Amino acid sequence: MISCACPWLKWIEQRTPDPQIEGSSPFGHAKSMHRKKCSLRIDCDTKQGLETGVLKISELLFHLNIKASFFIVTGPFDYYLSISRIFTEKGFLKKLLHLNRSYLNLSSKNKINKIAIVEKILSHGHEVGLHGYSHFRWIRDFLKWTDETASIFFTKGVSDFKETFGYLPKFSAAPGWRMNFNLLQFQESFNFNFASDIRANEPFYPLSANGEILKTPQIPVTRPTLDEILIYRGKFPFTLENGDVYCAHAELEGMNYINIFQNFLEINLRNGCEFVKMSEILKPSELRTKKILLGAIKGRTGKIAVAK
């Protein structure tokens, strides 16, 4: 285990791994000896996460022979913009105090070589997609944006990704699950294989109020993230069920919580989970449609896009 002064980390280290699932399985399958297909989504939100956390996670996944889907931010590294959310989002100060070790760690002043990092991720057999432009400005301001502003930021993300890595992203996830139906409609023109913008319990096609069905499938994160669990003091690790998508953050699971993350992965591997890339978990012909709305998730501040 890691030795660390963080009281929250000590608290979580002291917990015995609990094979019981926290909350109900979104797919409702009883435990069985059959192999389960699950996916890991790895969000890389900060410079520190990209230059250190991603590589540590990549090494860990290589060691465990696990493939995952990475989501990379474009535009400026702007975590400092989150400070004003203390005044606008209930519970954000608490979150900041608990997680600031991970998010406010000072990065080196060197220019980060995003291309080398992404090449390394791809060389290990993972896939890499877009995680928005100006990640923390997006989270802070999205609900105030006009449709035009949202589409400009979205397009900047795609073009920045192409300019940096030399190819268009094949999938995308909006920062902080800040998304609405109008931007989803705009996103259709980029012909992504899938997107992961909305919290829900299973993959689906978005449905408008007037019955229009969008063609880009959503593969949601189906289980609580570690930063959410740390805030409401939930159980971790937990066991994944067939079809589950777990979202890790390079700034957390790739840094102070790497040993806890390794424990989580090993428990689930032993429990019959086969980790596949998100693009491989999708079965488009089996998807239902769901309406998008703004909602709340336990342990996360502010309103985010959820589906029902």
227 touches Zn ion (CB under 5 A): no
Task: Mark the segment that binds Zn ion (CB under 5 A) among 90-98, 151-159, 173-181, 210-218.
Answer: 173-181
Task: Mark the segment that binds Zn ion (CB under 5 A) among 144-152, 172-180, 209-217, 251-259.
Answer: 172-180
Least separation in angstroms between residue 261's CB and Zn ion is 16
- Choose between 245 and 273: whose C-beta lies nearer to Zn ion: 245
Least separation in angstroms between residue 207's CB and Zn ion is 25
- Choose between 176 and 203: whose C-beta lies nearer to Zn ion: 176
Please name every residue paired with 206 in a beta bridge, in sequence order, or none if there are none.
290
Residues 109-118: contacts with CB under 8 Å, at least 24 apart: 112/47, 112/50, 112/51, 114/50, 114/72, 114/164, 114/165, 115/164, 115/165, 117/50, 117/51, 117/54, 117/55, 118/70, 118/72, 118/165
How many residues contact Zn ion, by CB under 5 A?
Answer: 3
Task: Mark the segment that binds Zn ion (CB under 5 A) among 43-51, 88-96, 155-163, 182-190.
Answer: 43-51
DSSP 207: E
3-class SS string, 14-61: HCCCCCCCCCCCCCCCCCCCCCEEEEEEEEECCHHHHHHHHHHHHHHH
Considering only residues 9, 12, 45, 61, which one is a binding residue for Zn ion as defined by CB under 5 A?
45
Task: Mark the segment that binds Zn ion (CB under 5 A) among 45-53, 56-64, 79-87, 295-303.
Answer: 45-53
69 close to 127: Cβ distance less than 8 angstroms: yes
Considering only residues 25, 39, 40, 43, which one is a binding residue for Zn ion as defined by CB under 5 A?
43
Least separation in angstroms between residue 139's CB and Zn ion is 8
User: Under 8 Å CB-to-CB from 255, ≥6 apart: which residues?
Assistant: 48, 49, 52, 53, 56, 102, 105
- Choose between 61 and 248: whose C-beta lies nearer to Zn ion: 248
- Choose between 25 and 196: whose C-beta lies nearer to Zn ion: 196
User: What does the alpha-carbon distance between residue 128 and residue 144 come to, in Å, rounded to a whole number?
Assistant: 29
Interface residues with Zn ion (CB under 5 A) are: 43, 45, 175
